[in-house]
Structure 1
């Protein structure tokens, strides 16, 4: 057996774990050789339904309706997915290979030998949302910034570098570094998925199973596959804490109550505070859209919407600004066709109307949140001073 293939026995089943690099020249051949030799009953691949569909429909981005993406509150998810897809595609281009060839080989081999094809990864939206829910506001800002900047990192990666990723010791070092910077990301993206993958692999039909996996998961799966897990919990999206929902309403209501109290003391002071609230929220949200090079109408919409949406946890200024941007600058067919190429540069990010709209939504929301924090502090300060 190839050194990148691990054989283990669980519950009377022979399981072969193939550790691959998703942009490696040799990983596809590793998969083909192992399947030809083992002739498994089931072939497991590290994909979920959504990414499996992506392999069958490479031009899936062309079917997206950006307005529906905004309405469904999926702008952050779409942006993260685009960045990750483009990053992997860029490395694959440097390596002169097509990303995900080892997964494609697993799919083709399953058809050739009549084996069960089992998709064993967790839904990617669930993974993203679990990461998002477990970070504070400022941690989210840091994480988003790191994610965006990663696509503009033009560091050369050699074939030897890619192949070395298959060595467990190198992976251990890499994971330790990730854990230091973003321990929650490491927990959700690697360790939780190790558990999900292990559970689904050992429960795949048949007595001989071949699993095609990213090499980073092999050490964890070897350890986790002998344990039992609550798969429903691992594949669920953590609900917001009741306290968070309550606070989400208490803070806006408290701000409104304090402003009304200022009116009862001094109407001039009350109107002054209303104006300050509008200026802080509206101006900063509008500034966010301006930094995203949004259309003047989108800037105006953000300015008007932010002071209102900041007082309603169910609404966000970015949604309205993004819809205005999408209405004025409707994406064209070429925007969808060039999407994955354009996200590899700052210029392309702003040039492509789809990513441009996503930036408008995200920047408007981020700066509106900042405006809420500053404006809220201003209200509290004046409220306290009025009673001193």
Structure 2
């Protein structure tokens, strides 16, 4: 039996106001037994503190800190372009789940593991990533007829996969596997609590949606182990 019948996956753009609205609307409509978000404990705590990492902070953490700093600045720049701070859709999922009294789960891979994998990327991919990250900081003047960012996202992801095969594997495919294992475990544990047909809403980046749904649809129902965190 497919686990997809138990899980509603919302694919969001982390810098899109439309995604925040969709998250709130879906959770209110579904009234799920659990809400799962693409966060780990470290990022969840950092989001609550709302303290931005400075360049000096990044230097203290070495290479991993610098990588995290650059990625954060890239998202920040994109947020300015689209009128929304990164992570607002995750905050919306958290606050809506709490307002409804719905259990919240953190299902993503540990950020330190992710940063370690990024640091081990081939030199070619790291150089290309650095050059593209610098380009993001250049001023972009919005013009008429600009494509809707949500409609262009899949094209962007395919381009990323072609340019960065290693990073795509560790940032998308491997994390898909981690999040699916955790979602399966959440469903199984809800069944053990006597809920015959659990409903779980999972809020993940749009680039993860199709892959997660594909794996869930082909997973046989079973009792699974996981490393998700219940909040």
| Aligned equivalents of 2:110, 2:128: Cα separation in 1 | 20
The equivalent position to 1:22 in structure 2, one of 9, 14, 22, is: 14
Where 1:180 maps in the other structure, the secondary structure is helix
| Aligned equivalents of 2:116, 2:124: Cα separation in 1 | 14
RMSD: 3.1
The equivalent position to 2:84 in structure 1, one of 74, 97, 103, is: 97
Cα 1:183–1:153 shift into 2, 3 Å = farther
Cα 1:43–1:141 shift into 2, 3 Å = closer
| Aligned equivalents of 2:108, 2:13: Cα separation in 1 | 16
Match of 1:311 in 2: none
Match of 2:48 in 1: 56
Unaligned runs of 5+ in 1: 1-7, 235-388
Checking the alignment, whether the CA contact within 8 Å between 1:23 and 1:91 is kept in structure 2 is yes
Q: Which has the higher helix share?
A: 1
For residues 311-367 of structure 1, the C-alpha deviation after alignment (integer angstroms, 9 at most, x for no partner) is xxxxxxxxxxxxxxxxxxxxxxxxxxxxxxxxxxxxxxxxxxxxxxxxxxxxxxxxx
Count of residues paired in the alignment: 212
Give the structure with higher Rg (CA).
1
| Aligned equivalents of 2:57, 2:137: Cα separation in 1 | 26
For residues 174-214 of structure 1, the C-alpha deviation after alignment (integer angstroms, 9 at most, x for no partner) is 33322322210111111111111111122224311000111
For residues 243-286 of structure 1, the C-alpha deviation after alignment (integer angstroms, 9 at most, x for no partner) is xxxxxxxxxxxxxxxxxxxxxxxxxxxxxxxxxxxxxxxxxxxx
Checking the alignment, whether the CA contact within 8 Å between 2:33 and 2:103 is kept in structure 1 is yes
Unaligned runs of 5+ in 2: 191-197
Match of 2:116 in 1: 129
Where 2:17 maps in the other structure, the secondary structure is coil
| Aligned equivalents of 1:150, 1:197: Cα separation in 2 | 31
Match of 1:178 in 2: 160
| Aligned equivalents of 1:85, 1:76: Cα separation in 2 | 14
2:3 is the counterpart of 1:10: yes
| Residues 186-201 of structure 1 aligned to structure 2 (within 5 Å) | 186-201=168-183
| Aligned equivalents of 1:142, 1:92: Cα separation in 2 | 24
2:26 is the counterpart of 1:34: yes
Cα 1:144–1:99 shift into 2, 3 Å = closer
The equivalent position to 1:162 in structure 2, one of 149, 156, 159, is: 149
Where 1:212 maps in the other structure, the secondary structure is strand
TM-score calculated relative to the size of structure 2: 0.79
Q: CA deviation at 1:163?
A: 2.3
Checking the alignment, whether the CA contact within 8 Å between 1:23 and 1:162 is kept in structure 2 is no
| Aligned equivalents of 2:129, 2:27: Cα separation in 1 | 39
Cα 1:146–1:222 shift into 2, 3 Å = same
| Aligned equivalents of 2:13, 2:126: Cα separation in 1 | 29
Q: CA deviation at 1:110?
A: 1.5
| Aligned equivalents of 2:172, 2:22: Cα separation in 1 | 23
Match of 1:218 in 2: 209
For residues 140-181 of structure 1, the C-alpha deviation after alignment (integer angstroms, 9 at most, x for no partner) is 65245335424424345688432214xxxx51x433322322
The equivalent position to 2:39 in structure 1, one of 47, 59, 64, is: 47
| Aligned equivalents of 2:126, 2:94: Cα separation in 1 | 38
